[in-house]
Amino acid sequence: MTNYKQPVSVLVVIYTVDWDVLLIERADHPGYWQSVTGSRDDKETLIETALREVCEETGLDVGPNASLYKLNDWQAQNVYEIYSHWRYRYAPGITHNTEHVFGLQLPHRVDIQLAPREHLNYQWLPWQDAAEKVFSPSNRAAILELPQHMQRKSQ
C-alpha cells in the first residue's frame, strides 16, 4: 500500500518582531525558496501539523518556547492546483490542495537546523524581499499580509 500525502497542508510564515522572514531553499528544486510547508499526517490537527513541520524543517521546537515563539492561525486558506511534478505524491486523481496559513513570531533571528533531505539553505530577509523571493504565489501573498497580522496582534 502506498502512503500518499493528504491534500491538506500548512504554510507557516516564520518572522521576527523586526519583520524579518525566514526562507528555506528546497533540496528537490534548488533555487525554490519558501516558508515552512507540509502536509497533514493521519488525523493531526492543523496546529499539530504546523508545530511538527516547523520542528522538522527548522529544528525550532515551539512547545518549550511557547512564551517566546508565538504561533497563530491566520484563519486563511488557499486552494491551489498541485504542480504536476509533485502530483505523484498524492492519490490518483488528486489535483488540488487546501493550504492553511499560520504565522510564527520569534523575538529575533535564530539559527536554523535544516532537514538536509528537504532543504539546502536558509536565510532571513526583510519581509518585502522575502515576498519577492518565494516561488509560490500563496506564500508571497501570506508574507505580504504580515503587516496586517502584526497590527492585529498589537491592538
**DSSP string covering 94-108:** --EEEEEEEEEEESS
In tens, the pLDDT along 62-96 reads 987 778 899 999 999 999 999 898 899 999 999 99
In angstroms, rounded to a whole number, what is the distance separating the alpha carbons of residues 153 and 155? 6
Q: If pLDDT is split at 50, 70 and 90, which confidence band does 1 have? A: very low
In tens, the pLDDT along 98-147 reads 999 999 999 999 999 999 899 999 999 999 999 999 999 999 999 999 99
In angstroms, rounded to a whole number, what is the distance separating the alpha carbons of residues 98 and 45? 14
Q: If pLDDT is split at 50, 70 and 90, which confidence band does 153 have? A: low
For residue 127, give the 3-state DSSP assignment: helix
Q: What dotted CATH number matches 8-154? A: 3.90.79.10
CA dihedral 50, 137, 112, 5 (to 10 degrees): 40
pLDDT beyond 50 at 155: no
Q: In the prediction, which pLDDT does 45 show? A: 96
pTM above 0.85, yes or no: yes
